[in-house]
Structures are given as C-alpha cells and as structure tokens.
Amino acid sequence: MTVRPITIVGHRALAQRTRKVREITDDIRTLVADMFETNDAADGAGLAATQVGSRWRLFVYSCADVDEVRQRGVVINPQLERFGGIELDEETIEGCLSVPGEGFPTARHRGARVTGIDLEGEPVSVEDEGGVLARALQHEVDHLDGTLYLDRLTPARKREALDAVTARGWRSRGLLSWDPTSLEAADV
C-alpha cells in the first residue's frame, strides 16, 4: 500500500466527473488499498478517487455515524439518495482534504444513503442520518460528480474560502497536490 498525493483545489481532476467501474481489477483493488492508506495518513473522514488523481467512480470512508460508531468501507459506483431537511449549522464545520487546513459551515441534507458495490462486487448500502457519515457520503459523491464543497458555500463564505486558498499561496506556487506523510502537510 502507498500513500498517494492528494489533489488540491485548482487541480483539474477535482472538476471532472468520474467513470463507472465496469470490472474490479487488481488495479482497482490497489487503488482502494492506497486510498485507505492515504485517508488514514491524512486523518480524513473519506476520500474520493478524484482526490488521488483517478477518474474511477469510487470512494472510501472512515468516520462516525450518528451513534458515534466508526464506520469504514468502500463504495464503488455509488448512487446517492439524500433525505431529511437541508441544514446549515454555523457550529458544524465541513472540511476537505483537497482544501487542507480550511473548514466552513456547509448546507447538507440531514440524511444520506449510498448504494453501490464493494470490492467483491456485492451490493452495499450505507446510510446515516445526522452524523458525520451522512455528510461524508454526500461530500464524497459530490467529488465524483466534479463538485467541491466550496461550491455549496454561501457567496460570502465561498469568497472567504477562496481568499484563504490565495493567502496560502497555492495558486502562486502552482501546487496541485500535497503529501499527507509530509511534516509540512498542515502548512500546505
């Protein structure tokens, strides 16, 4: 397993829609193993394939559900169903490994269900209502559709987020990714 560089805002892979996985190959298995390793190294709640520069429609997750039970898994070719009202809580900050070091209140549906397949090609369904997992499911599917959480912010918050990205110098330095094993990761 390998920790892969994580793409950051401005990388073209983050704006592209993904391709359906037609066959679970050794390359797909390696990608998933590397994504778990990368997500763990970055202390993430989830990681979409686009965040490691891949166009496959899959993501991994490792976070608590509404009952504070850690859930961990992979969903290949996910289909998202949102339910419950849309919530925007100023106290609930959403972050993203592709916008490291920043976090903003983000409107999300209270609940989410994702269906797809696992690495064995078996049907899988993951659901949560009100927990971090519900947000993560929506967040990761957004990545697979070419959407960043910054796109869901209020106009004022989006401007604040883009100003923060600029202040960190990511665009001026031409950075397109960061290494979660690096001591400078928090400074990216």
Q: What is the CATH number of the domain that holds 123?
A: 3.90.45.10
How far is Cα 36 from Cα 62, in angstroms, rounded to an integer? 8
* Mean pLDDT confidence for 72-79: 98
In 3D, which of 71, 44, 42, 77 has the Cα closest to residue 59?
77
Question: What is the pLDDT confidence band of residue 165, given thresholds at 50, 70 and 90?
Answer: confident
- Residue 58 inside a domain? The answer is yes
**What is the CA 45 to chain-centroid distance, rounded?**
8
Catalytic residue among 120, 140, 160, 184: 140
- Confidence at residue 90, expressed as pLDDT on a 0 to 100 scale: 83
What residue has token string 């490994």?
97
- Residue 174 inside a domain? The answer is no
Residues flagged as binding site: 96, 139, 143
Show the beta-strand stretches assigned E in 14-173: 46-48, 58-64, 70-87, 93-95, 103-105, 108-117, 123-129
- Confidence at residue 172, expressed as pLDDT on a 0 to 100 scale: 60
- Residue 173 inside a domain? The answer is no
Q: Is the Cβ–Cβ distance between 106 and 151 less than 8 Å?
A: no
* Mean pLDDT confidence for 60-86: 96
- Residue 177 inside a domain? The answer is no
Question: Quick check: 64 pLDDT over 80?
Answer: yes
Residue 150 belongs to what domain range? 6-168
Angle at 18 (CA atoms; ends 89, 154), nearest 5 degrees:
25
- Residue 122 inside a domain? The answer is yes
In 3D, which of 70, 188, 73, 67 has the Cα closest to residue 140?
73
- Residue 188 inside a domain? The answer is no
Question: What's the number of domains the chain is made of?
Answer: 1
Active site residue 140: yes
* Mean pLDDT confidence for 106-131: 97
Residues flagged as binding site for Fe cation: 96, 139, 143
Q: Provide the 8-state DSSP code for 14.
A: G
**What token pair was written down for 183?**
């001591």
Question: Quick check: 51 pLDDT over 90?
Answer: yes
- Residue 181 inside a domain? The answer is no
- Residue 1 inside a domain? The answer is no
Tens of pLDDT, residues 29-43: 999 999 999 999 999
Q: What are phi and psi of 33, to 5 degrees?
A: -60, -45
